[in-house]
Chains A and B, each alone.
Chain A
Amino acid sequence: MLCARLRWRVGSKFHCACQREHSTTLHQQNELNAVIHNGSAKDPSLSGALSGRTIAIKDNIATKDSPTTAASKALTGYTSPFDATVIKLLRQNGATISAKTNLDEFGMGSHSQHSHAGPVLSQHSRSGVPLSPGGSSGGSAVAVATGQCWAALGTDTGGSVRLPAAFMGTVGFKPSFGVVSRWGVIQYANSMDTVGILAGKVEDARRVFGCLDVFDGKDPTSLSASGLRIGVPLEYNIAGLAPAVRSAYMRTLGLMQDHGHSLHPVSLPTTRQALSAYYVLAPAEASSNLAKYDGIRYGYRTQGPDASPKSGLPLYARTRGEGFGEEVKRRILLGAYTLSSEAIDNYFIQAQKVRRLVQRDFDGVFTQLNPLLNSDITTGSGVREEQGVDVLLTPTAPTLPPTVEEVKRQSSVESYMNDVFTVPASLAGLPAISVPVKLSGGGDEMVEERDVQSVGVQLIGQFGDDQLVLHAAALLEQIDREV
């Protein structure tokens, strides 16, 4: 375990915002390995919407006063000379950047186990074995769940904010692609990378989003409190849906209906292919985005000379071989293959077509037209009722968090399965949020006291409808709390 060397000095002041019942001790927090670099000390003098709030930052977002490594050996010791735009906005609004949090290397993973700084653990456990915190923003989710910060930024490329939120019982919001600046966010798959917010409550996520949503101004989207049209995608009712998740999801749907919102079955036929498309496109983009880590200008470089240019090899074969972890190497190779002239037609091009179909499916079911499309473009095969829906409500992950031992036994493809519900919104760039709801506790399964007590459900809105998604999430959160 590498976490031993990453001492996280923290004063009791970080605990103030903790509102969970199972507040953890400092020792426990260190063992979870959520934080890998210190941030700045809290400065109560700062004013603004986030004054006095501590916010932890996923370590793939550039900060100039602490290292930014994306949990990769390839960026050992790298400190960015500039702050990411989101960091600048948070500071301007009075927030204190309290810590840099652990993640799957470069954001590639669903359980935060592939990190050069060691795996992240959930504070929950089952039969004495820690559960997976979800990934790749696992460090941020754990930091929020254990009260180490008031809120945290993560990045969501295929579900990396929503999945850990679902597994850790926090809120995880992925805004529309492009609404929040990516400047200073280390690319994984840049056509989907989105800065997301992890927080205890929707209200908190909304407050942070209000500061980061620089393009959308401060105008709240006016919306009547009742009568949301909620779409229920038939394709998300998969066989692999865990009973605990299914019952919590069904209960939530029922509650929403009870509170005056209407449910509408919709069909998103391309959902099935979306996951495969994502795991073709994201590695392809990753293989491109990570080409810059050659150890020449910054970051890790191997000892001794690395392949003399005369031998015909690139100057940095060994440096790259040593600098990247196994999962990252797997995705780089995968991506390099799917982009090769031999394979591009069968993989990359096909996946792009699927991506377009996924987007059209969504455009077909929402009331709102996609503002990015010209009006003359025909809608896709998404089947809706006459009127369309305002938001879609789905589970965030098909199962409760597995234990880290179960994760270890999973094949890569099995662990990719966790992203089946989060990936479609990423492919289409839509705003989506994961909100924790209580486990139904229907009696069929006994839940241990230390185990996770919530299930994440996801709300997805039309592109640009971020405020509506947050609004719907707040309603859902309120309803769940009242029960």
Chain B
Amino acid sequence: MRSSTIRTAPSHFARALQYISPGLIRCPRPCTVAKWLQSRSLTTATAQEAIPLRKHLKDEAKRKKADAKRDGNTASTKPGGDPRLEKWELTVGIEIHAELNTASKLFSSAPAEVLESDNGGTANSRVAMFDAALPGTQPQFQVATLLPALRAAIAFGCEVQRQSGWDRKHYFHWDQPNGYQITQFFQPFAKDGCLVLDASDGVPALDMQGADRLRIGIKQIQMEQDTAKTTNVGSSTYHVDLDRAGVPLIEIITLPHIHSPQTAAAVVRKVQAVLKSVDSCVIGMELGGLRADVNVSVRERGTSGVGSSYSGVSGLGQRTEIKNLSSFKAVEDAIIAERNRQITVLEAGGVIGGETRGWTLGATETTRLRGKEGEVDYRYMPDADLPPLVIGQDLVKHLASTLPTLPDELQQELQDEYNLSLKDAKTLIDLDSGDRLDFFLRTVQSVTAELGISRQAQIGKMVGNWVLHELGGLLTTHQRSWDDVRVTADELKDILVCLHRKQITTRVAKQLLADLFQRAPAPAARPSVEQLIETGNLRLRPLSEGVYRDLARRIMEESPEMVKAVREKGQKGKVMWFVGQMVRQGEEGTVEPEKAKAVIESLMGE
């Protein structure tokens, strides 16, 4: 970056970057733009490899278990158990930045997402002239980006403002080409919403204070631009990728209504779930779609702290801000660490300074980034390039009436209409960005149609079991992710219909599923379920009562100790061992466990 030679933009840059016609998504020319930027020593690198979602979820679960165990053993880390927490009360407010699911950037028609034709997303290939802050370029608000933002605001029950405005927030950084970020500082587009949580969201009982639900106020939601992506290469080289520069974000600011680290993590998790359900933000925290800043303060219970207040909530302790937390775990751990640090300082007679702190994963303490004296003065000013944003009630009403079902309503529906347990309902909603739920619903629909039954409740539980547990088990055994599942909803439907009609046994159904799971996906030839049953001779051939009794007697004679255990010691569970033996020893696909059980029980009783 030392060259001071004359640098001239080639004319093809204009073509490559000319996203000026609204509503039209153009295909940029990655190579020429990348070359142009490279010629200005702006080298780029591919993005860091992201942690796969499933691995992340698994790690989370593991960690939760470990935490529970540790909390059980050591009183000091247990929220309710730390004696200091009886004296000190924690207060947290969160700012969540979420990338909106839009086709274009906020102020240019450059694509916000990698296009398929885009060669896998070459760095600096989705850059309009405004995104590169070329002299004489102006922002052009892309109206369509407003829709996912509005859906989010409606989902959180916010009051959508008829008029809001755009402001410039200034700071110098190479990830900010214009030298300012366009945001909504003075007049955000949505205000006064709330988020409702319950125990099933992970809120500790202590926080619920006996109520069923916990309400966390949302102060406001604003739209703003994302920054470019910086990758550190070596000690002093930075690669800048402007593809992310100008991508629309919403910032959701909660009120300081949160009083435990677990609740804070639950809030972020729930915000992510709600945003996903209304299609506002489809990229999870684990992939950088969401980032959170937390404001943490403590006060002695029953006092009003140092009298700080924030947006109508007063009597708080001095707060510090921890920036850029990129996982639920980081949110929880950073708050625990910062709470403990503040209590230690206060108990030693010290004073908390208003400062910005950082947190790295795996750390035990937050680190000071800058104090009040080092605060950046953002010199907010209204952006005169952009007219005020006026949103009509008709649009808000239309979006509200067509809003997809929210997670809480969905969960209730799965419990009530599909007869799923709370746990299964929640799992279905959370897994695989809703793909699993989609698969479930499609299967239920086709099974009910095929069987000609009217109520989904009858088979909802069965389908739920197969989608969550049978398919889930196969995923674990073969270490595959949901994206690699080759069984189609139609195939599962065929299996379950056969099972429901007692044309095959459960054991055979499981075999069929495992078989289809292993086969190459379409367009490779896949045998139908019917063909598999025929060729494998797997159809259930009902046996007479006599054949069942003969088989049962033979096994009982072979294992007199087991018979004794059931008859004399009353070990009823051993009955199932006999059922298993009968299924195994009978011809494939002939022995139905229920009938076998009845026969064994009656013979034992003789």
Measured CB to CB, the residues of A under 8 A from B are: 60-62, 64, 67-68, 70, 75-82, 84, 182-187, 190-191, 284-285, 287-288, 290-292, 294, 296-306, 308-310, 314-316, 336, 339-342, 344, 348
Contacts and interface: CB of A to CB of B under 8 A. Distances in A.
A450 to B, nearest CB: 37
A78 B381 CA distance: 28
Contacts of B466: none
A228 to B, nearest CB: 32
A341 B135 contact: no
Contacts, number: 135
Given A81-B14, A296-B1, A309-B238, A68 B172 contact: no
Given A64-B11, A183-B138, A314-B173, A303 B379 contact: no
Nearest to A339: B379
Nearest to B4: A301
Nearest to A61: B136
B429 interface: no
Contacts of A292: 133, 135, 177-179
Contacts of A342: 377
Residue with the greatest number of chain B CB neighbours at <10 A, chosen from A81, A288, A304: A81
B179 A298 contact: no
A55 to B, nearest CB: 18
Contact of B2 (A82, A190, A301, A309): A301
29 contacts: A61-B136, A77-B6, A78-B8, A79-B8, A80-B9, A80-B134, A81-B14, A81-B129, A82-B18, A184-B136, A191-B384, A291-B170, A291-B172, A291-B179, A292-B133, A292-B177, A297-B37, A297-B40, A297-B134, A299-B7, A301-B4, A304-B2, A305-B1, A305-B236, A306-B1, A309-B236, A314-B173, A315-B172, A336-B379
A300 B240 CA distance: 19
B180 A303 contact: no
Nearest to B232: A309
Contact of B177 (A68, A78, A297, A309): A297
B538 interface: no
B2 A339 contact: no
A127 B244 CA distance: 60
B134 A298 contact: yes
A191 to B, nearest CB: 3
B97 interface: no
Given A186-B136, A298-B7, A288 B381 contact: yes
A300 B14 contact: no
B381 A348 contact: yes
Contact of B379 (A60, A185, A287, A308): A287
B136 A291 contact: no
B174 interface: yes
A68 B136 CA distance: 10
A184 B129 CA distance: 10
B105 interface: no
Nearest to B235: A310
A296 B42 contact: yes
B34 to A, nearest CB: 13
Contact of A81 (B37, B134, B172, B238): B134
5 residue pairs, one from A and one from B, having the closest CB atoms: A291-B179, A77-B6, A191-B384, A339-B379, A81-B14
Contacts of B135: 62, 68, 70, 75, 78, 80, 186-187, 292
Interface in B25-69: 37, 40, 42
A59 to B, nearest CB: 11
A309 B240 CA distance: 14
Nearest to A76: B6
Interface in B346-396: 377-381, 384-385
A156 to B, nearest CB: 16
A297 B133 contact: yes
A76 B10 CA distance: 15
B168 interface: yes
A6 to B, nearest CB: 15
Contacts of B379: 287-288, 336, 339-341, 344
A320 to B, nearest CB: 9
Nearest to A72: B135
- Binding site secondary structure of chain A: loop
Given A183-B137, A288-B180, A314 B172 contact: yes
A315 B8 CA distance: 22
Contacts of B129: 81-82
A84 to B, nearest CB: 6
B13 interface: yes
Contacts of B240: 296
B175 to A, nearest CB: 10
Contacts of B559: none
A308 B9 CA distance: 27
Given A183-B136, A294-B179, A298-B40, A284 B381 contact: yes
B3 interface: yes
Residue with the greatest number of chain A CB neighbours at <10 A, chosen from B13, B174, B236: B174
A401 to B, nearest CB: 29
B190 interface: no
B154 interface: no
A81 B138 contact: no
A309 B1 CA distance: 13
Contact of B9 (A184, A288, A298, A316): A298
B179 A302 contact: no
Contacts of A304: 2
Residue with the greatest number of chain A CB neighbours at <10 A, chosen from B18, B37, B172: B172
Contacts of A305: 1-2, 236
Interface string B264-299: 000000000000000000000000000000000000
Nearest to B370: A312
A408 to B, nearest CB: 29
A301 B1 CA distance: 8
B92 interface: no
A68 B7 CA distance: 12
B504 interface: no
Residue with the greatest number of chain A CB neighbours at <10 A, chosen from B168, B236, B381: B381
Given A82-B129, A341-B377, A297 B136 contact: no
B368 to A, nearest CB: 14
B26 to A, nearest CB: 15
A310 B232 CA distance: 12
B384 A285 contact: yes
A372 to B, nearest CB: 11
A128 B182 CA distance: 51
A219 to B, nearest CB: 25
